[in-house]
Structure 1
Amino acid sequence: MNSFICAIGTATPPHKIAQMQTAEFMAEALQLSADENRKLKALYRVTGIAHRYTVLPDFATTNGQFTFFPNTPDLEPFPTVQQRMAMYQQEALPLSVAAVEDCLVQIKQFDRSSITHLITVSCTGMYAPGLDIDLIQALNLPSTTQRTSVNFMGCYAAFNALKVADAFCQTDSQARVLVVCTELCTLHFQKYREYDHLVSNAIFGDGSAAVLVQSQPLPKHINIGLAAFHCELIPAGKKEMAWHIANHGFEMTLSSYVPDLIRQGIKCLTERLLQNLDLELSSVNLFAIHPGGRKILEAIEKALALQPEHNCFAYEVLRDYGNMSSATVLFVIKAILQTLSPANHHQPILSFAFGPGLTLESMLLRVHYV
């Protein structure tokens, strides 16, 4: 028995920053030489990102009048974890509420009191009482709503949240599960000049996505069934992608070897997911791949013999939003959902996401219309 995604909502902060404008900010913050500045801008140009969103207006400031970072040439004293978490607590709730509203408005006369479970997902901030409780109060959800938090798992965390939602629906036919992934990645800008940090600063943005999952599909509505999941670990990549709490924010390690590791493991992952479903990869035409970066998307295409058009939704999300960690793959699935019609009934959608571990997550979805 499948459970079903009935609606997906998304939201971004108000500050939309062009990619090369961010490069200018970074070059000044890092106090780069002319040659270093040239190399940094070259890196930003090849990301495939046109613009990203952030809760911090400082990234768009040209007069040096910052509101979060110090108004000093080297941004010292650099913001502490405490200051970054205070900003997360201030900004995560309104962004999450906007995503939920965008989700629930798609279902006519939706009764919020029917929500039984809330799953919150984030790797970019935490506090207690947390975002889950704040959402219960802000959305006027029942105080009896069962709450689960999936924290610090990185870009693949939405898959784990959907697995938990699916488990709730499998055991309770009346379950209505709201999943909210909210990531404020730009809070964690680091001033290191190592390549890993330069790449992280170049690709991550802020965003939120909300999903309603239930055991029964909505009638006369495009639903997406959760058909199967499969996860693999590549221990050799444990140090290549990591996420650590340091004194001045959360520090991302994103090695240049990650695309190669994903390329080596993605075919086996796909085969193991599909082998018990009586489904061949050649029969899949819709792909919801987490756009962790342009090179990651290209590595998957090479490993699975896909064409770039198979990946068009991932490239669009990467271009317009960058990598928003756990929320990103839900932006991709929403983009696909908006193109579907009843004629797509039962069509498969293959989805992937990746994160620390090195973790490879896969999921098979099916379009459902009744």
Structure 2
Amino acid sequence: MFFLGLGTATPAPRYTKAECLEAFQNSDWFGRLDARAHLVARTVLQRDNGIEARRLALDSLADVFRIDPDTLARRFLHNAPALATQAAERALAGAGLAAHDIDAVVVSTCTGYLCPGLSGYVAERVDLRADVQAFDLVGQGCAAALPNLQLGHALLQSGACEKVLSVCVEVSSAAMYLDNDPGVLISACLFGDGAGAAVLSREPGRAGRRIEWKDSMSLMAPARRDALKFEQRAGMLRNILTREVPALAADHAQRVLATVLQRAGLHSADISAWIMHAGGRDVLIALQRRLELQPSDLRYSAAMLREYGNLSSAFVYFVLQAALQDEAPGGWWWLSSFGAGFSCHGALLEVQST
């Protein structure tokens, strides 16, 4: 499988940590939460948490504190199809392909629910063929990009498709929830809105760098699902985020990496670019230590986290795009995501030198 084109999209409004803290302190929610909650929010939004700004699908930060099921559902319906479409169209443009060239579309999200699913909205807006195979993947959280790409790989290998459009989109501002739980508050300070897309093909493209998917692996630990998940409360999604997540992510990421590298007869030193999901600053630190990397190895993940926050499933598309735009050295690249489940996925890519 080859990557022919990438596309990303975010809402236009950019909000800094300082602006978010000021809006929270001026909101009605500030008075509803206790002193400990105030301390948690101030600590996260005033210290260096690896995030400087986020893009949110909101006309003003006052809107983020309108937290009720109907408002959040409308926010997702209005923004998820638009962001997914924008990323998809940019991926198609990057691949030099038209919409009718696509045989299948795979769309992942966890921040909202639509029936019919998002794939139909993307197919309609991008003007994909009526006979396109459409798949909606839900409930995989931040890890979803790799399962999405794995399904694309399977479709291509089966011979059922020649070109697959992969899309991940998250409207985290449509999954807003606040209470006095520290994990809930930290989560509210981490996530941003955005979409990523890739055009996948059985054959390499004629232009641009050649990016080939060589091997992949997944690990799932359902017994640890309570460490990181959404739960339904009062008709809304409430994020469960625990302190064990950085260690879980690092441990699973190392196990997946070691297995795939062993199959390929490679070592960590052979990896020239690391395309890693970044759950947050603490997760990146844990990954760096567990994988025995240098801070510079995770520079693309850190840069995307600082500017956009945690974009959940869409994040690794941004990191991959950043590495390509920076003309990172060719050779073996490692692509990895992890999240709710608890699950972790990794893929070995071979990338042509510039």
Give the alignment's TM-score, normalised by structure 1: 0.89
Greater displacement, 130-139 / 270-279: 130-139
Residue number in structure 2 paired with 1:233: 220
Deviations 1:164-187 (A, max 9, x none): 100111122851000111100111
Task: Pick one of 3, 6, 24 that aligns with 1:5.
Answer: 3
Q: Which moved more, 1:188-197 or 1:154-163?
A: 188-197
Gaps of 5+ in 1: 71-77
Q: CA offset at residue 357 of structure 1? A: 2.0
- From 78, 81, 89, the equivalent of 2:77 is 89
Determine the structure 2 residue equivalent to 1:296.
283
Q: 1:100 aligned to 54, 65, 88, which one?
A: 88
SS for the counterpart of 2:310 is coil
Alignment-derived partner of residue 16 in structure 2: 18
- Structure 2 distance, partners of 1:243, 1:174, is 33
1:219–1:369 Cα contact (<8 Å) kept = no
Distance 1:33 1:83, change over 3 A: closer
TM-superposed CA distance for 1:85, in Å, is 1.8
SS at match of 2:49: coil
Counterparts in 2 of 1:340-351, with a 5 A limit? 340=327, 344=330, 347-351=331-335
Write the distance in 2 (CA, Å) between the matches of 1:230 and 1:311. 21
Q: Deviations over 1:72-125 (max 9, x none)?
A: xxxxxx412x432222111112211211122122234x2321110011110011
Matched, 1:205 2:207: no
User: Which residue of structure 1 aligns with residue 30 of structure 2?
Assistant: 30
Q: Which residue of 2 aligns with 1:190?
A: 177
The answer to whether the aligner puts 1:154 opposite 2:152 as a matched pair is no
Q: Which position in structure 1 is the counterpart of 2:53?
A: 51
TM-score (norm 2): 0.93
Offset of 1:26 from its aligned partner?
Answer: 2.9
Tell me, in whole angstroms, the C-alpha distance in 1 between the residues paired with 2:184 and 2:176.
9
- Structure 1 partner of 2:340: 356
- The offset of 1:40, in angstroms, is 2.0
* CA displacement 1:228-275 (0-9 Å, x = unmatched): 111123455321111122224211111011112223333222211211
Q: 2: distance between equivalents of 1:125 and 1:191?
A: 17
Of residues 272-281 and 314-323 in structure 1, the stretch that sits farther from structure 2 once superposed is 272-281
- The answer to which of 30-39 and 45-54 deviates more is 30-39
- The alignment of Structure 1 onto Structure 2 pairs a total of residues equal to 350
**CA deviation after TM superposition for structure 1 residue 159, in Å:** 0.3
What is the match of residue 74 of structure 1? none
Q: Which moved more, 1:182-191 or 1:228-237?
A: 228-237
Alpha-carbon distance in structure 2 between the residues aligned to 1:267 and 1:157: 18
**Over aligned residue pairs, what C-alpha RMSD do you find?**
2.1
Q: Which residue of 2 aligns with 1:172?
A: 159
1:40 equivalent in alignment to 2:37: no
Contact kept in structure 1, 2:140 and 2:341, CA below 8 Å:
no
Q: Which residue of 2 aligns with 1:220?
A: 207
Structure 2, unaligned runs of 5 or more: none
Counterpart residue number, 1:79: 68
User: Does the 8 Å CA contact 1:85/1:127 hold for their aligned counterparts?
Assistant: no
**Is 2:332 the partner of 1:334?**
no
- CA distance in structure 2 between the partners assigned to 1:264 and 1:91 by the alignment: 35
- What is the one-letter code of the residue matched to 1:30? F
Amino acid at match of 2:41: L
Q: Please name the residue that 1:73 is paired with.
A: none
> Does the 8 Å CA contact 2:228/2:239 hold for their aligned counterparts?
yes
CA contact (8 A) 1:173 1:215 kept: no
Contact kept? 1:7, 1:223, Cα under 8 Å: no
Deviations along 1:146-202, one digit per CA (max 9) or x if unpaired, are 001111110111100100100111122851000111100111221211111011001
Q: Is the 8 A contact 1:288 1:349 kept in 2?
A: yes
Cα drift, residue 204 of structure 1: 0.5
**What is the identity percentage for the equivalent residue pairs of Structure 1 and Structure 2?**
25
Secondary structure of 1:57's match? Answer: coil
